[in-house]
Structure 1
Amino acid sequence: MNKMYAWIVSSVFISLLITVNCISFNIQPNTQKCLKEELQGNVPVVGEFEVSEQPGQKIDYIVTDSKGHILAQRQDVSKGKFSFNTETYDMYEICFISHVPQHQKGITQLVTVTTKHGVETKNYETLGEAANLKPMERELKRLEDLSNSIVQDFAFMRKREEEMRDTNESTNNRVLYFSIFSIFILLGLAVWQVLYLRRYFKAKKLIE
C-alpha cells in the first residue's frame, strides 16, 4: 500500500513538471509576432496553431534559430501542425506574419499556438500497442522517460551553472589584474609628474 501511494505521489509530481505551452495573442495587420524559447540540442518539437480567418488577409509562419536557419515554414495558413528537431542549444523562435492588401482595411486576427517538446511529443498509446504493453507498463514507461528527461535537464542546468561560475571567476581575475595594472600605471605617472615638475622648477630656479 505504501509503495502504491509513493508511486501515485511520484506520478503526480512528475506530471506537474510536464509543461505544454499554449498561448493566444492578437496580431495586428501587416505586423509580425514571435514566440521565443531556449532549447537543448537534438530535441524534437511539435506544435499546432490556429488563426482566425479574415477575408483577404493572409498569415504566414516561419520557425528559425538564432543564426537565421529556417526549420519550418508555410504561407497563407489558417490552422495546422509543424515539427522540427533542434540541432544545438540555441534560441528558437516561431514567427507569425500578417499580410493585408494596401487597398483593404486590416482587421486584428487571433492566433493560438500549442507547442510540445522532448518527451511530451511521444505517443505512448501507439508505442504501447506496438510493444504489447499493458496500461500500467505504458504509464511506467512514460514516467521513466520523464524522469530521465528531468535528470538530463538538471544535469544541463548544472553544466550551465558551472560554465557561468567559471566565466565569473575568469572575469573577476581579469578585473583584479586590470586594477593592479591600473594602480601601477597611476603610480608611475605620479612619480614621472613629480620628477618632471621638480626639473621644471629647478630650471626656472624656483627651487634648489
Structure 2
Amino acid sequence: MFLTSLCAIILALFQISAVTALRFEVPALLQPTSQCVREFVSDGQLVVVTINTDGQSGDGQILSVKISGADGSEYRRKDNVVGSFKVAFTAKSSSSFDICFENKIQPGFRSNGRDLKRQIELDVEAGAAARDWNAIQAAEKLKPAEVELRKTDEMIDDIASELEYLVRREERLRDTNESTNRRVRNFGILIIVVLLSVGMYQIRYMRNYFRSKHIL
C-alpha cells in the first residue's frame, strides 16, 4: 500500500514537471515582436511540442512558430500555422529551449477596426511522458499492467537523471563559489600588502625629507 502511494506521488510530481500546458493570445501586428515560452530539458530527452490554434487561412493573420535551443540551434520553424501543429525532437544537451510565436498582419488585409489575434494552446511533454505508449503496447504486445510498470520505470529513470544533473550543477556552482571566494581573499590580501607598503614608503620618505630640512 505504501509503495503504491509512493509511486503515485512520484508519478504526479513527474507529470507536473514534465508536462506544461499554456493558453494565451498572440495579437497580430504589422511589425510583430516574438512572444516566447522557455522550457528546460535534459540531454537526450525526447520532447513533443503540440500547438493548437484557432483561426483559418486567409483570415489576415500569418502566425509563425520557431523552436530553438539555448545554443542557437534551430529545431523547427513553420510559417502560417493554422489548426494543430506537432513537433518532436531530441534535446542535444541539458539546457533550455524557446518556443517563439510571431503573428503578422497579412499585407493588404483590411481588418475594419477589428483586433486580430490568435488563441494558442501549447502543450510540452518531455521524457517518458512524451512517448507514444499506445504504439509501444501494440508493437510489443504488452499487457496494460506491463505498460504501466514500464512507464513508471522510465519516469523514475528520468527523475533520477534530473536529480543527478541537479547534483552536478550544484557541485559546479559550489566550485565556482569557492574559486570566487579564494580570488576575493587573495585580492584582499594583496590590497592590504600594497597599502602597508605604500604607507611605510610614505613614512620613510617624510622622515628623510624632514631630516634633510633639519626639522628632525
TM-score (norm 2): 0.86
Aligned to 2:10: 14
Aligned to 2:26: 27
Aligned counterpart for 1:151 among listed residues 145, 151, 160: 160
Aligned to 2:211: 202
Deviation of the 1:188 alpha carbon? 0.9
Distance 1:144 1:171 in 2: 41
Aligned to 2:201: 192
Aligned to 2:89: 84
Distance 2:91 2:136 in 1: 23
Q: Alpha carbon RMSD of aligned pairs, Å?
A: 1.8
Distance 2:208 2:116 in 1: 81
Deviation of the 1:60 alpha carbon? 0.3
1:10-54 CA distances to partner (integer Å, 9 max, x unpaired)? 331122121310011222332220011232211111111122327
Distance 1:118 1:58 in 2: 31
3-state SS, counterpart of residue 176 of structure 2: helix
Q: Is the 8 Å Cα contact of residues 61 and 106 (structure 2) preserved in structure 1?
A: yes
Deviation of the 1:129 alpha carbon? 2.2
Report matched runs for 1:97-136 at 5 Å.
97-101=102-106, 104-105=110-111, 107-136=116-145
1:53-87 CA distances to partner (integer Å, 9 max, x unpaired)? 27111110001112321111100002311122111
Aligned to 1:65: 69
3-state SS, counterpart of residue 45 of structure 1: strand
* Identity among equivalent pairs (%): 26
Question: CA 1:200 to 1:101, structure 2 compared with 1: closer, same or farther past 3 Å?
Answer: farther
Deviation of the 1:198 alpha carbon? 2.5
Aligned to 1:40: 42
Question: CA 1:112 to 1:204, structure 2 compared with 1: closer, same or farther past 3 Å?
Answer: farther
**Aligned amino acid, residue 159 of structure 2:** I
Distance 1:9 1:141 in 2: 17
Deviation of the 1:7 alpha carbon? 4.1
Structure 1 runs (4+) deviating above 6 angstroms are: none
Q: Is the 8 Å Cα contact of residues 50 and 86 (structure 2) preserved in structure 1?
A: yes
Q: Is the 8 Å Cα contact of residues 26 and 109 (structure 1) preserved in structure 2?
A: yes
Deviation of the 1:102 alpha carbon? 5.9
Deviation of the 1:122 alpha carbon? 1.2
Matched, 1:163 2:163: no
**Aligned amino acid, residue 175 of structure 1:** V
Distance 2:118 2:134 in 1: 35
Distance 1:53 1:196 in 2: 84
Q: Is the 8 Å Cα contact of residues 127 and 155 (structure 2) preserved in structure 1?
A: no
Query: Unaligned stretches of 5+ in structure 2?
Result: none
Distance 2:77 2:52 in 1: 15
Q: Is the 8 Å Cα contact of residues 72 and 83 (structure 1) preserved in structure 2?
A: no
Distance 2:120 2:91 in 1: 24
**Aligned amino acid, residue 80 of structure 1:** F
